Amino acid sequence: MSVSNNTAHRGEGGAKGSSKLECRIEPDRTETQSSASRLSGPMRIHQAAKQNRSLRFNNLLNHITPEQLLQAYHHLNKRSAKGVDDEDWLSYGQQLFKRLACLHKRIHTMKYQPQPVKRIWIPKPNGQQRPIGITTVEDKIVQQAMVWIYKPFMK
């Protein structure tokens, strides 16, 4: 099965300079009987890290699944501010499964690039201002999925 997404991954009218992105989704591979009895990737990593504290991990992005990306999307604050792509939670949800499949592919092919952070200044009670950064919905999805990957290591 091959799905093509000819709209930009940031949605219609995305950030300036955004290019069209085409994603082809390969069919899911079936699992063998022996693979069902093994621990999941994150659990194997957690177990290895517990046994040998000197281990260093350099690519935990490989353990992000499309299901985690979907859970991360639904976990986000639906009323959060728009990032530099001017896209909110609801508009990102249009064609959600295609977008998440494309995002997953970009993550696993090392083509995912976080967008710039939108900086706004909010007033403090003393009259000064402080900066806050607002990330895009897509970046928030990836960040939330990474929190769930890292969480077992932080216990």
Q: How many domains does the chain have?
A: 1
Q: What's the pLDDT tens digit per position in 102-115?
A: 999 999 999 999 99
Quick check: is 129 in a domain?
yes
pLDDT at 88: 95
Quick check: is 8 in a domain?
no
Domain span holding position 140 = 41-49+59-154
pLDDT at 48: 73
- Which residue in 104, 36, 39 sits closest to 68, CA to CA? 104
Quick check: is 75 in a domain?
yes
138 pLDDT above the threshold of 80: yes
pLDDT at 83: 94
Quick check: is 22 in a domain?
no
The fraction of the chain above a pLDDT of 90, given in percent, is: 54
Quick check: is 18 in a domain?
no
Q: Are 103 and 142 in contact (CB under 8 A)?
A: yes
Quick check: is 33 in a domain?
no
The fraction of the chain above a pLDDT of 70, given in percent, is: 66
Quick check: is 36 in a domain?
no
- Contacts of 49 by beta carbon, 8 Å cutoff, 6+ apart: 55, 57, 153
pTM summary value: 0.68
